[in-house]
Amino acid sequence: MTDSLLDAALAPGGDADTPDAAAVPGGAPGSAARPSEVPEKFWDAESGRVRLDSLLKSYRELERKLSQRLARPGPEAPEDEHRRFARLLGAPEAPDGYRIAERHALCCSDPEVNTRLHSAGFTQDQAQLVYDLAAEKLLPVIAEAAAQYEAQRQLDRLREEFGGEERFAQLSRQISAWGRANLPAEVFEALSTTAEGVKALHAMMRKGEPAMARSAEAPEGMDEAGLRRMMRDPRYWRSREPEFVRRVTEGFRRLTGG
């Protein structure tokens, strides 16, 4: 054998001039069978080689499509593209697909809110966070505002009941002095927080009822702790149900011996 293998490799028609094909080890050109793991479109039956140019082109196209699927659609993208991307991130198929854990009775799952969250592409975790923040941050503010409103409403009732702002201001000082001198601090503070309680204090003061002993005991089932629990009930401070308020007021009357 006198021909240089190096020269043969560089000669026209040699293997180095076919960058678009890869030989299959152990097979002669034109005789090698297509391996089972090589798709037919990537196989050159005549040369018995893999079509590298076709394989590279397909790979680049696949890479382009994958990058597009992972990229957030722009504002001009079709609506179905936005929905597809939201589902890819974890958004449910429809607004009723959210599973909201209720942190508070006043912050339960709301269909209208869920519809807006779904339209914005919120995931399950993001939607839950909205409800959690509402329970954590908004409810205390709402409760405080409601308490202030109710306090102002009851103050207005007392001013009307006792002849105007100036008259009630004078009377309130008398009631306060009498209550602090004759009642336990806890009882006086509890009664002075509602209009009905203030009127009960005024009635006791006018009748000149004797001072309540600091160790006085309330009737069974109607002690001070129980009455204060009733005052924290929304039926007392929010909806002001007449019968419920009457029970609290009468309870304090009995507690003070009225």
Residues 21-34: tens digit of each pLDDT: 555 554 455 557 88
Residue 101 located in a structural domain = yes
Residue 96 located in a structural domain = yes
Predicted local distance difference test score (pLDDT) of residue 214 = 39
Q: In the block, which residue shows the tokens 């008398």?
A: 174
Decide if pLDDT at 249 tops 70. yes
Residue 234 located in a structural domain = yes
Please report, to the nearest 10 degrees, the dihedral formed by the alpha carbons of residues 66, 72, 74, 80 taken in order: 80
Asked if residue 168 and residue 132 are part of one domain, the reply reads no
Q: pTM here? A: 0.43
Average the pLDDT over 178-191 and give the result: 85
Predicted local distance difference test score (pLDDT) of residue 212 = 46
Residue 242 located in a structural domain = yes
Average the pLDDT over 150-166 and give the result: 89
Decide if pLDDT at 209 tops 80. no
Residue 8 located in a structural domain = no
Average the pLDDT over 143-162 and give the result: 88
Instruction: Give the best-scoring range by mean pLDDT among 198-207, 226-235, 238-247.
Output: 198-207
**Count of CB atoms situated within 10 Å of the CB of 92:** 18
Domain final position from 138, 153, 179: 138
Residue 169 located in a structural domain = yes
For the chain, the domain total comes to 2
Predicted local distance difference test score (pLDDT) of residue 129 = 93
Residue 37 CA, chain-centre distance (Å), reads 50
Predicted local distance difference test score (pLDDT) of residue 220 = 46
Asked if residue 244 and residue 179 are part of one domain, the reply reads yes
**CA diameter of the chain:** 136
Asked if residue 171 and residue 250 are part of one domain, the reply reads yes
Quote the mean pLDDT of the chain: 76
Predicted local distance difference test score (pLDDT) of residue 72 = 64
Domain final position from 104, 138, 172: 138
Average the pLDDT over 144-168 and give the result: 88
Q: What share of the chain in percent tops pLDDT 90? A: 9
Which two structure tokens, joined as six digits, stand for 157? Answer: 């009732």
Q: What share of the chain in percent tops pLDDT 70? A: 69
Its domain, for residue 193, covers 162-255
Q: What is the distance between the terminal CA atoms of the chain, rounded to a whole angstrom?
A: 130
Residue 207 located in a structural domain = yes
Q: In the block, which residue shows the tokens 């609290």?
A: 248
Decide if pLDDT at 145 tops 70. yes
Average the pLDDT over 195-201 and give the result: 88
Count each helix (H run) and each strand (E run) in the chain, helices first.
12, 3
Query: Residues 242, 248, 253, CA angle at the centre, nearest 5°?
Result: 120
Instruction: Give the best-scoring range by mean pLDDT among 6-15, 43-52, 64-73, 104-113.
Output: 104-113
Domain final position from 106, 138, 170: 138
Decide if pLDDT at 36 tops 70. yes
Average the pLDDT over 199-207 and give the result: 87
Residue 56 located in a structural domain = no
Confidence bin at 13 (pLDDT 50/70/90): low
Query: How is the chain split among helix, strand and coil, in percent rounded to 5?
Result: 60, 5, 35
